[in-house]
Every structure is written in C-alpha cells, then in structure tokens.
Amino acid sequence: MKRALLIFCLILGGTLWAEDVSLHRKAALEMMQVKGVPEMLKRSFDAQLENEIRALPELEKYRPQLAEFYSKAFSFKELEPDLCALYMKHYTQEEMKQITAFYKTPVGKKMRKVNILLTAEVGRLFQKQAEKKMPELQKLLKQLIKE
C-alpha cells in the first residue's frame, strides 16, 4: 500500500510539475508576443542581411535566397523553444505575468514602440562612433602588431 501511495505521489508530483512548466512556458510566450519579440527578430535578421550585403555587395543578386534562409533559420517559430527556455531561466511565471501586464498599459505600448526607434538610433550612433574612432583603433592595432 505504501508503495502504491508513493507511486501515486510521484505521478501526481510529476504531473503538477509538468503543468507548472507548461504554464511558465505559456507566460513566456505571451510576454514575448506582447513585447514584440517576433517583430524584433525579423528586424534583426533584415538588418543582418543588409549588413552582409553592404560588406559583400556581390551578395545582392542572392538577396531573395538569403532573405528566405534568414526568415526560416531565425524565425520566432524556429527559435521559440530556446527563447522560452531563456526567459524561463531568468524570470518566474509571476514576473512574466507582471511584465506582460505592463506592456499592455499605454506606457508599456509606448515603450515597445520607442524601443524599436531607440534600438535603430543607438545602432546608428554606435556606427557613427565606430567610424569616428577608426583611425585611433587602426593606430592602436599597428602599435600592437609591432610589439
């Protein structure tokens, strides 16, 4: 009888744990959707493709094939399991619910939109700073190579 009770408790515990993980994952998915993660991924791989074509202009003729590859390889659907695991590692289910609730408020919606603009603007600022500091970096590299 004790053995049967132990087995029942293990099965029940495993079921409750699986349900908890499922609810945690569901909270992660909802949070990522409301934060706009799928759109951020799309913008990121579009930007990556543009950077690659800028670096190697001969790739321009392969843009459609490369875009198709990126849209599949880096899609939200493809990355969803790993993204869920990352969010679940760093946030509790309750924290994700609170973040989701915030992103549904007017200021949360504004933050999502502004973050898109800020990300682009910070990228341009970083690029401008890198170009400005390139001579200094080249000088440093020459010194380091001589040593």
pLDDT score at 91: 96
Q: With 90 as the cut, is the pLDDT of residue 10 above it?
A: no
Region 118-131: what's the mean pLDDT?
Answer: 86
Distance CA 40, CA 74 (A): 11
Q: Has this prediction a pTM greater than 0.75?
A: no
Q: With 50 as the cut, is the pLDDT of residue 6 above it?
A: yes
Q: Which of 44-53, 86-95, 129-138 has the highest mean pLDDT?
A: 86-95
Give 13-72 as a DSSP string.
HHHHHHHHHHHHHHHHHHHHHHHTHHHHHHHHHHHHHHHHHHH-GGGGGGHHHHHHHHHH
- Where residue 26 falls among pLDDT bands split at 50, 70, 90? very high
Mean pLDDT of the chain: 85
pLDDT score at 89: 95
> What is the gyration radius of the CA atoms in the chain, in angstroms?
23
Check: CB of residue 52 under 8 Å from CB of residue 59: yes
Q: With 70 as the cut, is the pLDDT of residue 15 above it?
A: no
pLDDT score at 141: 86
pLDDT score at 3: 62
Distance CA 34, CA 104 (A): 7
The predicted-structure confidence for 28-50, as pLDDT tens digits, reads as follows: 999 999 999 898 888 888 888 88
Question: What 3-state DSSP class applies to 99?
Answer: helix
The predicted-structure confidence for 80-93, as pLDDT tens digits, reads as follows: 999 999 999 999 99
Check: CB of residue 25 under 8 Å from CB of residue 89: no
Question: What 3-state DSSP class applies to 74?
Answer: coil
Nearest CA to 35 out of 91, 118, 115, 89 is that of 115
Q: Which residue has the higher pLDDT, 95 or 137?
A: 95
